Structure 1
């Protein structure tokens, strides 16, 4: 039945009266008097009055001559391998010149509820090819690990680099990239960076551009996750879902909330922002006895670098760590400008170390982070009182900090490093320090590396007899470092 009783057009919303048998989240087909067809979702139903959110916006619509047909079920899309290698807009319509994506199987965009007892704990790494991520904040299959950035930093370049190079160690793998509110230049950058992998049928691109309807951004990440769930849990693939920029998504949600006349919460965002973000992030994970996984890498920009901004703050409560980009590192010309001390992967111990990446990985990462924290203190002291006042014992830390940025973190946007290359760079960086400072790794490993390098600067073995840490286990010394780091970097997120 088609309803023509449009009572009001309010921003992106249509209010229609006299409806019957309509439920929340029902899909709606909207016919304009020009013959154009638009799509919508029911946001609210009250005593025969329905509020419909129009995905394409209400521009050009009039209360007269507009007909609405309620489908009778939530919005569904075709799912399956037909999405691989396709470039679509934020509603899933092709923009690559190809035919519409068709499949005999459909799934609701809102997803299916997942029994928590079916979940399998994440335990294997997703290797991004970026040393700063793989070495120090390892991404694990089934994890949700956001990238926190500031406007003006190369977070989009980093996201596309990860999407172009990430692998699951030889297991079936693909990427679903959801862009929200991208400029035309950014959209072209994403398509160009992922062109090769798209041609190979390993990427799905969903691009909502800045001049596309704002309301379309509310549905884009849900489309991406619905496609990913089918590829993972039915197709047996490990799927990485990259979503950028979640701040644009939250602003679209705020616009819908304001149009509905809802009471605003922090910074005019709706009070249900937390649960709405959780409904996206929590769709990642692994299911017991199924080979696939969905890993989520959301990217968000913090206005004015405010990590207490509602989007960043609530994202941090839901997700398992964060990768933080630094304006200071960017100013020094480091790419990617990752702040290693502010970044954290809470599931790294499940997906790195012996049997996952390499046996020396966890101890090496702990040593580097401990040394970097010391180097930052020494650098602050040198800037305050001058380098001449720094003790001879602390001077090597200034060289370590430079080597950390130059040899380990800094890499070209088109450069991919495997895990062995990354960990060898970690060793090269660590061996800038004297032997006595490398007390967080097993003595035999350090001595073997020093002999292989043959560096005279490591002849001093003072302090080498302290307790060591076995890879994958937490000893007293290593645990203390971890606790100190957690306290030092702890924020509301």
Structure 2
């Protein structure tokens, strides 16, 4: 029997240890095999290999909740082995587009700039674009702690769902990050609903996101749970993909990444959503770190006017933004001013927000408040840049209002505590408090009927 493409191979080393690999290429009677655990220490003459004749499958079970696994789905929490209910292909099954349900239920995260201006729908895939040294891990942990469903046609938020689960895959992270997430889940009592895959910087990265998503699909579509999948750091995964591509001597694409990276990332990100006939859902929040934010893009311009920005045109965030339904942008300038969470709402986006907000879902003024806050913040940024050139004395009365709004928006709306859980209705009320800085005639994005109901100070 000849080797087959994508077949799994088991290696037995002379000292008795076993490793596994996958067939990448078949040439007549020879096969090229990628060893998942690395090839160091393998003696080509004394090592035996067995071709299994099957693709890579992972054991899955509802008992995986509350457990900690390594990047190869082996338990590392000193607990017993998991009794498998099923063995599933780690590449999953493609979802028929006709069988998908459009996401229309808003998930409340308790974080104002996300809930009001970049609302996340259940079944959405939305990444966090961050950079080295920014608190993206703290934001992800806060979302895990506080996530709840805003009920349709009711002004209530449901946090106590028995069928809510989190699958967390950490790829290429250091021990400190792994310990942070594990202790955070244990301290807030949610560990029994979390399946944790900890793939450290010295472990292989390639299969971890697929193992995590296969587990999530089992929990969502067979156990009918609502699963939140967090993948960090997708930049580590993409760089591992580049290493494998270089080892196979493939023709490189932009910045050395393989030409098929878009397709490969899509096979991960597209495994989110809702399916007809199943009550479960998979909401995906991948985290990636953008490189090159140490150097300023503007040579000869003073630092306040042109601060360094991460490279959002890098292939990893660029292709991720194409595939996913928006992005949440974590900003270094806000972080340097001690604002937490440092979410810059201007480059942030949620493409499915329009279907998950409004009357009957959140509140009828939600969309209008979001648009007006965006407009006022953008004008405030322009005024701030103009003030740096011409000075505050040259600004008009309206310009000074926008400048006041800018500072209060960042201080009162964006900034909040890591354990502060604001309901969507509290966040909208804070938005109205800020908009009352302006006279009614400057609020051009809000209809008269909504202004009449919500603009007066006694309005609720």
TM norm structure 2: 0.90
Distance 2:432 2:277 in 1: 38
Query: Which residue is 2:47 aligned to?
Result: 66
Alpha-carbon contact 1:198-1:204 (below 8 Å) kept: no
Q: Residues 397 and 453 from structure 1, CA distance in 2 versus in 1: closer, same or farther, beyond 3 angstroms?
A: farther
Structure 1 unaligned blocks of 5 or more? 1-19, 455-493
Kindly indicate whether residue 185 of structure 2 is the aligned counterpart of residue 194 of structure 1. yes
Query: Which residue is 1:207 aligned to?
Result: 198
Out of 172, 175, 188, the position equivalent to 1:184 is: 175
1:183-262 superposed matches below 5 A: 183-196=174-187, 199-212=190-203, 216-262=204-250
Query: Which residue is 2:66 aligned to?
Result: 85
Alpha-carbon contact 1:85-1:198 (below 8 Å) kept: no
Question: Secondary structure at the residue paired with 1:77?
Answer: strand
Kindly indicate whether residue 92 of structure 2 is the aligned counterpart of residue 111 of structure 1. yes
Question: Secondary structure at the residue paired with 2:142?
Answer: helix
Q: Residues 264 and 198 from structure 1, CA distance in 2 versus in 1: closer, same or farther, beyond 3 angstroms?
A: farther
Out of 438, 445, 458, the position equivalent to 2:443 is: 438
Distance 1:112 1:133 in 2: 31
Query: Which residue is 1:365 aligned to?
Result: 370
Alpha-carbon contact 1:197-1:203 (below 8 Å) kept: no
- Alignment deviations for residues 424-466 of structure 1 (CA, whole Å, 9 cap, x no partner): 2222222222222223223344334443349xxxxxxxxxxxx
Measure how far apart 1:138 and its partner are. 0.8
Measure how far apart 1:332 and its partner are. 1.6
Query: Which residue is 2:330 aligned to?
Result: 325
Q: Residues 198 and 249 from structure 1, CA distance in 2 versus in 1: closer, same or farther, beyond 3 angstroms?
A: farther
Kindly indicate whether residue 252 of structure 2 is the aligned counterpart of residue 264 of structure 1. yes
Question: Secondary structure at the residue paired with 2:236?
Answer: helix
Q: Residues 253 and 116 from structure 1, CA distance in 2 versus in 1: closer, same or farther, beyond 3 angstroms?
A: same
Question: Secondary structure at the residue paired with 2:102?
Answer: coil
Distance 2:122 2:436 in 1: 31
1:20-169 superposed matches below 5 A: 20-169=1-150
Alpha-carbon contact 2:4-2:23 (below 8 Å) kept: yes
Kindly indicate whether residue 379 of structure 2 is the aligned counterpart of residue 374 of structure 1. yes
**Stretch deviating more after TM superposition (148-157 or 198-207):** 198-207
Query: Which residue is 2:346 aligned to?
Result: 341
Kindly indicate whether residue 452 of structure 2 is the aligned counterpart of residue 452 of structure 1. no
Alpha-carbon contact 1:334-1:410 (below 8 Å) kept: yes
Q: Which has the higher contact order (CA 8 A, sep 6+)?
A: 2
Query: Which residue is 1:174 aligned to?
Result: 165
Query: Which residue is 1:355 aligned to?
Result: 360
Distance 1:309 1:147 in 2: 15
- Alignment deviations for residues 369-405 of structure 1 (CA, whole Å, 9 cap, x no partner): 0111111111111121111111112211111111111
**Stretch deviating more after TM superposition (62-71 or 269-278):** 62-71
Measure how far apart 1:282 and its partner are. 0.8
RMSD: 1.7
Distance 2:77 2:146 in 1: 22
Alpha-carbon contact 1:180-1:245 (below 8 Å) kept: yes
Question: Secondary structure at the residue paired with 1:33?
Answer: coil
Kindly indicate whether residue 395 of structure 2 is the aligned counterpart of residue 390 of structure 1. yes
Question: Secondary structure at the residue paired with 2:397?
Answer: coil
Alpha-carbon contact 1:179-1:245 (below 8 Å) kept: yes
Structure 2 unaligned blocks of 5 or more? 151-157, 293-309
TM norm structure 1: 0.84
